[in-house]
Structure 1
Amino acid sequence: MSLPWLRENWQQVLRERQQGKLAHAYCVPWQVDLGSALFVAEWIKLLLCSQAEKRACGECKSCLLHKAGNHPDYYSLASQDGRAISVDQVRELLGKLHNTPNQAGAKVVWLQDAEKLSVTAANALLKTLEEPTRDTYFIVTPERTERLLPTLRSRMQLLRMNTPSAEAIQQWLAQQLGRILTEEEMTACQRYRQRPLALIEWVKSGDYPRDYVAELSGALLADEALPTPAKADWQDWLLATEQWLQELMRVQQGAAQTQLLMPSKQAELQQFLRNRNYNVTDLSSWLQLCYGIRQQTNEQSGLNGPLLLQELWMRWL
């Protein structure tokens, strides 16, 4: 595993495989900037390889078939153009799984965008996860695990990608760049701990993204006018709201500075919480409302996302 912060996750998979304790279904939160795409790709190759040890050999017939994109025992299912995954799509997939493996090995299913499963599709999949066919492995990658049916989540083993420390990212980034990091880059390693793969591209280009969290935090801490979300960026403001509430929860619970997105703002955030008399229960309930807005707008067309977000801000500020 080339990404050092994911090596512990990789060792877990190898250990369970060697001990014959692999679960038939794993739920892996989809975090591309943390390396989930690379991890899942290597995992699928490992499961399909007929001679794998610590990684796929890349040379056996099974590996060559997968590399060519026509392995008969590999299946993938994803949302098309953001639409719901239908029960018919799931039933078609499950029908194929009853066939005998072509390569006399494992059958591997990669279910992407799993949060977009319709209720009937999720229930159809649930029956298979309760009674899986032999040597069949599901890798399920939702963007948000909380949006899966609880019964579906309970039939899978959750495998969260490890988030590296700021120091680990600094060391990795310096190695990748072949030089000492600037002070700005070292600060960015703390700010974007969950997005190291995006961070290295920003550092190389010198083009950092707009920091919605910092802007929202600045307005709230200074008691200034809140931003005005537009159709083009309201989801960025929604994500920033979620991240800011999560940061407040970490501060409220006494998390170490190394765990904070904005450690330099810790004292100001503590004072903000005291002034507003907010507790973790309040923050958690508002965070759930954010998730609710995201789910509503994904499932129903025509909703005014910017207005819903502004109304949410007004409810708790």
Structure 2
Amino acid sequence: MSLPWLRENWQQVVREQQQGKLAHAYCVPWQLDLGSAAFVEEWIKLLLCTQPQKRACGQCKSCLLHKAGNHPDFYAVGSNEGRAISVDQVRELLAKLQHTPNQAGAKVVWLQDAEKLSVTAANALLKTLEEPTRDTYFIVTPERIERLLPTLRSRMQLLRMNIPAVAEIEQWLAQKLGRVLSEAELRACQRYRQRPLALLEWAKSGDYPRDYVAELSTAVLTDAPLPSVSKTDFQEWLLATEQWLQELIRVQQGLADQDLLMPEQRPAQQQFLRNKNYNVTDLSSWLQLCYGIRQQTNEQSGLNGPLLLQELWMRWL
């Protein structure tokens, strides 16, 4: 595993495979900027390989078939253009899984966009997750775990990608860039430690994105006018709201500066929490309301997302 912060995750799955203790289904949050795509691809190759060690051998027939993109025991199922994953897609998959493995090894299912499973599709999948066929492994990659049916989540082992420490990102980024990091880049390592791959691209180009979280936080903490939200930037402001609430929860829980996105704002955030008399339960309830807005606007056309978000801001600010 070339990404240093994911090596512990990788060692875990390799160890479980070597000891014959792999679960039949894993839920892996889909976080591209953290390296989940690279991790899942390496894991699929490892599971399909007939001569694995600490990684796929790359030389056996199974590895060569997967590399060519036509391995008969690998099944990828996902959403088509954002639409719900239908029960027919799941039933077609389950019918194929009843067959004997073509390569006399494992059958591997990669279920992408799992939060888009329709209710009937999810229910059709439940029995297989409870009683899978032998040597069948599911890797399920939702963007948002909380949008999976609880019955599905309970039948899978959660594997969260490790988030690197700030010092680890600084070392990795300096190595990738081949130079000493600037003060601005060091601050960015703290701010974007959950997005190291994106951070590398921004550092290369010098083109950093607009920091919606910092803008929202500064507006709230200084009693400045709240940002205006349009249809074009609604999703960015909603995500920023979720991330800021998560930051407040970390502050309220007393986490160290190295675990915060914006440690320089800790004193002002603590004062804000005292003034509002908010506790972790309050903040978590606001966060759940954000998730609700996201789900509503994804599932129902015609809703005024910007208005819903601004009304939510006014309720707790």
TM-score (norm: length of structure 1): 0.99
Alpha-carbon separation, structure 1, partners of 2:146 and 2:125: 17
Identity, % of aligned pairs? 82
Partner of 2:182: 182
Name the structure 2 match of 1:302. 302
Matches within 5 A, 1:103-182: 103-182=103-182
1:216 matched to 2:227: no
1:23 paired to 2:23: yes
Aligned mates of 1:230, 1:80 — CA distance in 2: 27
Structure 1 vs Structure 2 CA RMSD: 0.6
1:97 aligned residue: 97
Q: 5 Å matches for 1:1-317?
A: 1-317=1-317
CA distance in 2, matches of 1:122, 1:165: 36
Which runs of no fewer than 5 residues in structure 1 stay unpaired? none
Equivalent-residue separation in structure 1 for 2:216 and 2:123 (angstroms): 40
Give the letter aligned to residue 315 of structure 2: R
The letter for the 2-side match of 1:276 is: K
- Return the offset for 1:277: 1.2
Cα distance in 2 between the residues matched to 1:301 and 1:83: 13
Partner SS state of residue 208, structure 1: coil
Letter in 2 for 1:247: E
Large movers: runs of 4+ above 4 Å:
none
* Structure 2 Cα separation of the partners of residues 276 and 128 of structure 1: 48
Q: What CA deviation, in whole Å up to 9, does each residue of 1:31-73 have, x standing for no partner?
A: 0000000000000000001111000111111111000000000
Deviations 1:69-106 (A, max 9, x none): 00000000010111110111110111100011000000
Which secondary structure does the structure 1 equivalent of 2:223 belong to? Answer: coil
CA distance, structure 1, for counterparts of residue 184 and residue 224 of structure 2: 26
| CA distance in structure 2 between the aligned counterparts of 1:229 and 1:190, rounded to whole angstroms | 27
Aligned to 2:137, the other structure's residue is in SS state strand
Q: Distance in 1 between matches of 2:87 and 2:298?
A: 18
Q: Distance between the aligned counterparts of 1:269 and 1:57, measured in 2?
A: 51
2:64, 2:82 → 1: CA distance? 31
SS of match in other structure, 2:139: strand
Distance 2:60 2:230 in 1: 52
Query: Deviation per CA, 1:151-205, whole angstroms, max 9, x where unpaired?
Result: 1101000000000011100000011111110010011000001100000000000
Give the Cα–Cα distance (whole angstroms) in 2 for the partners of residues 224 and 280 of structure 1.
24
Match of 1:45, SS state, is helix
Paired residue secondary structure (1:53) = coil
Measure the CA separation in 1 of the matches of 2:308 and 2:81: 24
In the alignment, the residues of structure 2 paired with residue 50 and residue 312 of structure 1 have an alpha-carbon distance, to the nearest angstrom, of: 53
Give the letter for the 2:122 counterpart.
A
Q: Secondary structure at the match of 1:247?
A: helix
Distance 1:232 1:66 in 2: 39
TM-superposed deviation, 1:284: 0.5
The number of equivalent residue pairs is 317
In the TM superposition, what is the alpha-carbon distance from 1:314 to its structure 2 partner? 1.2
CA distance, structure 2, for counterparts of residue 261 and residue 315 of structure 1: 24
Q: Deviation at 1:302?
A: 1.3
Per the alignment, in what secondary structure is the counterpart of residue 83 of structure 1? coil
